């Protein structure tokens, strides 16, 4: 029988919009678009890289709740408010995903508020970090 787990982080936005930070169906994990708001202090750093670091902290916390980690991420979607921030943000993200190498989409749409400089949504598969991986290079 299929098992569904929904993780709430206590964010007021999860309650207002009636959504979960993470939904896991069997071992497939969907993490909602996540901003860099510290869940304990409710503060959002001004610096785009500090925000990106907090985004990852928030995602890692949600994944840990279902016994998963960044190493299980198979897809990421990166939303960057200011296109000029893209190189720095992607370089930072590269440090977090080095060796994991998920499929990734990067876009620069307006976000829900100008206070948000970067948001990230991921899909993971619990146990992917333990799977045998074959890497195929089709170009040099």
Asked if residue 61 belongs to a domain, the reply is yes
CATH of the domain at 50: 3.30.1330.40
Starting from the edge strand earliest in sequence, which strands make up the sheet with 103-107, in order?
4-7, 22-25, 28-34, 118-125, 73-80, 103-107
CB-CB contact of 73 with 100 (8 Å): yes
Query: What per-residue confidence (pLDDT) applies to 14?
Result: 87
Range of the domain at 66: 4-130
Burial 46-75, CB ≥16 within 10 A → b, else e: eebbebbbbbbebbeebbeebebbbebbbe
Decide if 140 is inside a domain: no
Asked if residue 139 belongs to a domain, the reply is no
Whether residue 135 lies inside any domain: the answer is no
Q: What is the pLDDT along the chain (140 residues), one digit of tens a residue?
A: 999 999 998 888 889 999 999 999 999 999 999 999 998 899 999 999 999 999 999 999 999 999 999 999 999 999 999 999 999 999 999 999 999 999 999 999 999 999 999 999 999 999 999 999 999 999 88
Asked whether residue 100 is domain-assigned, the answer is yes
Report whether 35 contacts 119 (CB < 8 A).
Answer: yes
Q: What is the pLDDT of residue 128?
A: 97
Residue 138 lies in a domain: no
Count of structural domains, the chain: 1
pLDDT of residue 140: 80
Domain for residue 118, yes or no? Answer: yes
Going by DSSP bridges, is the β-strand pair 4-7/73-80 parallel, antiparallel, or unpaired? unpaired
**Domain assignment of residue 136, yes or no:** no
């Amino acid at each position: 029988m299929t098992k569904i787990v929904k993780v709430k982080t206590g964010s007021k936005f999860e309650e207002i919009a009636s959504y979960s930070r993470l939904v896991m169906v069997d071992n497939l994990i969907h993490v909602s678009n996540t901003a860099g708001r510290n869940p304990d202090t409710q503060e959002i750093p001004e610096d785009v890289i500090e925000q990106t670091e907090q985004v990852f902290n928030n995602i890692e916390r949600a994944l840990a709740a279902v016994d998963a980690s960044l190493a299980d991420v198979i897809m990421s979607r990166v939303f960057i408010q200011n296109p000029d921030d893209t190189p720095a943000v992607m370089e930072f993200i590269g440090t977090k995903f080095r060796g994991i190498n998920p499929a990734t989409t990067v876009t620069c749409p307006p976000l829900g508020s100008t206070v948000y400089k970067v948001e990230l949504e991921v899909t993971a598969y619990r146990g992917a970090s333990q799977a045998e991986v074959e890497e195929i290079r089709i170009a040099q």
